[in-house]
Amino acid sequence: MKIAFFDTKSYDIEVFEPKLKQSKIRYKFYDTRLNEDCVVLAKGCDAVCVFVNDVVNKDVIDQLSEYGVKIIALRCAGFNNVDYKYAAQKGITVVRVPAYSPYAVAEHAMSLLLTSTRKIHKAYIRTRDFNFSLQGLTGFDLHGKTVGVIGTGKIGKVFIDICKGFGMKVLAYDKFPADIPDVEYKTLDEVYRESDILSFHCPLTDDTRHMFNLGTLGKIKPGVVIINTSRGALTDADALLEGIKTKKIGAACLDVYEEESGYFYEDLSDSIIDDDTLSRLISMPNVIVTSHQAFLTKEALQNIAETTIDNVLTIDSGKECPNIVI
């Protein structure tokens, strides 16, 4: 078994390499992303291991199939970047890591919310410059506020628990509602209308793409805080920007961005960013952007590496794997 790892960073190699050596799997780490131009790097491999911004479309899958690649192993939960139905037609199995630490993502969502509501991002910069003024740093209590959680799966549920700990009232919307104590399910529009804070935790699908859009701005409470740690395309970036500019949105906390693939995970501090929407959002005092880092905890990375290797070995041995994307 030989695996080509794409879009790898030092923190991936640190956790994967010892486990790969132990399992006797041969491997190659590439820092480039998988796409039509560099799919050739998978030649001679039985599997490719990809992350959230690798492009695994029909063209790439055709090439992988030609090279005899049998497994596409996502080292993440979301799989919207892989044409998994086409891969199945080509006899390639797609696997993912459905859960590695819902706590990592839910805790990051709460970190962003607290940073935003208590203006920690501003205070940190001020005190480093020995500016101890509190002018403009007034926040608001989370206690007693209503949070609307959209998607109440593994991450949404942990986020709900955290919010309950803060004494918040929880409303929820999910295509498949669960039975969660002290959580009231409502229609999406009702959640939009009644929430002081909205947090997105559902997957990106045709149904959920731009579920927050320009039309939504007419439904939300003025001053609502938007949190998106799921996938950028759930919240239309132009609608977010419009909401911020017209002050309908009080703040936005974004760990994901619809067009993130050209920017996130890279140091572009010396470059001119040609995405005006991203630049404008980042320039706003009430927008916090992190670079798709919600998953990035030691615990999550260990779990990702273990499950990914286990997925590949299980499929290779012909056994049933519970993490196949179908």
> Which residues belong to the active site?
231, 260, 292
CB of 181 to ligand NAI, least distance (A): 16
Tell me whether strands 287-289 and 197-200 are parallel, antiparallel or unpaired.
Answer: unpaired
Query: Cα(32)–Cα(38) distance, rounded to whole angstroms?
Result: 8
Distance from chain centroid for Cα 292:
6
- The answer to whether the Cα torsion of 227, 228, 232, 234 is positive or negative is negative
Please identify, using beta-carbon distances, which residue of 132 and 176 lies nearer to ligand NAI: 176
Q: Which residue number places its CB atom closest to ligand NAI?
A: 153
CB of 100 to ligand NAI, least distance (A): 8
Distances from the Cα of 265 to the Cαs of 53, 59, 65, 207, 234, in angstroms?
10, 24, 28, 27, 20
Please identify, using beta-carbon distances, which residue of 66 and 189 lies nearer to ligand NAI: 189
CB of 75 to ligand NAI, least distance (A): 11
CB of 201 to ligand NAI, least distance (A): 5
Structural contact between residues 166 and 117, judged by C-beta atoms closer than 8 angstroms: no
Distance from chain centroid for Cα 82:
15
Q: Which residue has the tokens 């390499």?
A: 17
Please identify, using beta-carbon distances, which residue of 297 and 314 lies nearer to ligand NAI: 297
Please identify, using beta-carbon distances, which residue of 97 and 312 lies nearer to ligand NAI: 97
User: Which amino acid appears at position 299 of this protein?
Assistant: E
Please identify, using beta-carbon distances, which residue of 296 and 321 lies nearer to ligand NAI: 296
Task: For residue 198, give both structure tokens.
Answer: 């909205």
CB of 279 to ligand NAI, least distance (A): 21
Helices (H), the chain: 10-23, 58-66, 84-89, 102-117, 120-128, 154-165, 188-194, 237-245, 276-283, 298-316
Please identify, using beta-carbon distances, which residue of 117 and 208 lies nearer to ligand NAI: 208
- Which positions touch ligand NAI (CB under 6 A)? 77-78, 99, 102, 105, 151-156, 173-176, 201-205, 207-208, 229-231, 255-256, 292, 294-295
Instruction: Say which DSSP state 202 is in.
Output: S
What angle do helix axes 237-245 and 276-283 make, rounded to 10 degrees? Answer: 40
CB of 37 to ligand NAI, least distance (A): 26
Please identify, using beta-carbon distances, which residue of 155 and 225 lies nearer to ligand NAI: 155
CB of 213 to ligand NAI, least distance (A): 14
- The answer to whether the Cα torsion of 315, 317, 318, 322 is positive or negative is negative
Query: Cα(113)–Cα(143) distance, rounded to whole angstroms?
Result: 13
Query: Cα(81)–Cα(74) distance, rounded to whole angstroms?
Result: 10
